[in-house]
Amino acid sequence: MSLALHWQDITESHLKQDAQQENENSFEMLLDSLNIGFFDYIFGTQTVKFSRTWKRQLGYEPYEIEDDFPNGKKKKTLAARIRCQRHASFR
């Protein structure tokens, strides 16, 4: 019977992740305070991240719009939703 143990200190990795999350939160708070909506499209994975402000500028709550549309169907659905909402708000 043998037993092998492996130990790795992941403190540095967690500290980097925490710092990155804090920077992202600070950046998003800054953009929210300036009322600047943005989105980030990543071509390699064909994913997108919409900011909370961007979603609200379109009249949605952050939980109402997904952050990615890998095959374009969601993009069309989002565009259709926006058109419907705009049409309904003009009546």
Tell me the per-residue pLDDT of 25-65, one tens digit each, with 9 for 90 and over: 888 888 778 888 878 887 777 778 888 888 888 888 888 87
Q: Is residue 2 part of a domain?
A: no
Q: Is residue 76 part of a domain?
A: yes
91 pLDDT band, cuts 50/70/90, is low
CA 31 to chain centre: 14
Of residues 73 and 10, the one with the higher pLDDT is 10
Question: Whose CA is closest to 42, among 68, 64, 22, 8?
Answer: 68
17 pLDDT band, cuts 50/70/90, is very high
Q: Is residue 39 part of a domain?
A: yes
33 burial via Cβ count (<10 Å: 0-12, 13-18, 19+): exposed
CA distance 64 to 23: 25
Q: Is residue 64 part of a domain?
A: yes
Give 91's contacts (C-beta < 8 A, 6+ positions apart): none
Q: Is residue 82 part of a domain?
A: yes
What is the domain extent for residue 76?
A: 11-89
Structural domains in the chain (count):
1
21 pLDDT band, cuts 50/70/90, is very high
Q: Is residue 1 part of a domain?
A: no
